[in-house]
Amino acid sequence: MSFKKIRYNTGEEIVETKIRDSSGAEIEKWMVMLSDYIRLSEIIKKKFGLSKSKPSKSNDRDLDWAI
């Protein structure tokens, strides 16, 4: 799978994504054209084990007192 070459001055936006660990050190840095960003997000999701599931209601209740 390859991405489009970064082309400046074409009118299409360029997206830069940085992934950092808990200490703030940069793990990865990606720069892609906006049209390729969906494919990049799929790669990142698989690589870091992210899922589409929504947070459970119990997590949302922790801040109920702040409302």
DSSP assigned state of 41: H
Q: Residue ranges per domain, the chain?
A: 14-66
* Residue range 10-67, pLDDT digits in tens: 999 999 999 999 999 999 999 999 999 999 999 999 988 887 666 555 555 565 565 5
Which strand (E) or helix (H) includes residue 46? helix 37-48
Q: Given a cut of 90, is residue 1 above it in pLDDT?
A: no
Q: What is the pTM of this model?
A: 0.64
Number of neighbouring beta carbons within 10 Å of residue 37: 16
Could you tell me where the beta strands, DSSP code E, fall in the chain?
14-20, 26-33
